Structure 1
Amino acid sequence: MVTLLLTFFILIVAMSTPDKKKIEQALKSIQGALGTAGVTAEMAMMSEKKSEASFQNLGSQVKNLVLEGNLQDVVDVKITERGIVLNMTGGVLFRAGSAGVERGFMPFLLELAQMLKKLPYKVLVEGHTDDSPPPPQGSYPSNWELSAARAAAIVRVLTREGGVEPERFSATGYGEFRPLFAPTPQNRPKNRRVEVIISREGFSG
């Protein structure tokens, strides 16, 4: 828009005078402005392509990490409009009614943290439960608290132990209210999950 206004202004100036030299100078100014705009647009497109390639490469690395850990049955990785989405089955991550991360899952999370440290993307962590209420004798009065505590537990591992900047994270608990499947006994284990979304939005802090 600025370039168009500049071009229009230069043309008006050129047309208002019969001076040949001024007209030539005006034309050169237009060419220079348009050339700069073209270079800027090309650079922006190259930067966008490079950023997308970097994001896709990270997605491939995460998928390979899952395969190397033989976790493909409990960690599903998809690249969506939201970003790289890791759907981690809650039954493997946590014991029933607990928000303590199982030690056997720690190596995967720490390797994931090393990948995240190299790139600037924001990370959203979302906890989900099934529709069964927490144990009455447990620490959480409802699935809201339990799902939020589980999301926060994953953030703690990735930041405190993994060393990723905490400012890049958000943690949210959705309780049982965003199931992937109908709440049947067969589907409840699939609805118990934590999703880690590596957002396409870069961290600007």
Structure 2
Amino acid sequence: MATRRRRTPDEAKRLILEAAGELLAAGGPAAVQVRAVAAAIGVSDAAVNHHFGNREQLLSALLRFGGAKLKSELHAALGTWTDGPADPAELVRVLSALYADGYAELALALHQSGWRDTGSGLLDEVVDHLHAQAQARCAAGGRTPPTREAVQLTVAALHQALALEPLFGGEFRRSVGLDAAARERVLDWWTETLRTTVAGTGAARAEQDR
């Protein structure tokens, strides 16, 4: 008879959160029930509650899990920027995919229940990379680079738009006469907006003063 391997607490939590994430993507926050998560990985309801306390705490942990997953994917995307210019399209794709997998609905549901995110700096690494590359490329091309705050504001607006997209994107597009097919064009627009910000403006001041 095969010996059943005992999972470490960290491994058990990871498996529970991965199963909860799959349920979230398939059916939204309502699908993430303790019993369904337990059944997905072959443990008891009590085992799930042992690690997370109750469903609300499980949902909060799932949102943090999504944030950690996002940071990991963004870090991987940023790694590809070291070999060439930053490609905002990959940033837009990673952010859009996360929120499309149910995390937008989850964040709203938790917010309505009184939960508040006290963390910060989720996209600091993205801002740092974009700003550094903007400075280097603008210096080489004789343009005035954007300030760090300009990059921060653009990335913050992008993040807000993509987080709200699964919830209200269709309504906002219809308000100006756009149909559902315009969603991809909106993502393309955000990519070009980031590229425009990073590209800087005009000629460098030193050139203008000559």
TM-score by length of 1: 0.33
Name the structure with the higher helix share.
2
Greater C-alpha Rg = 1
Name the structure with the higher strand share.
1
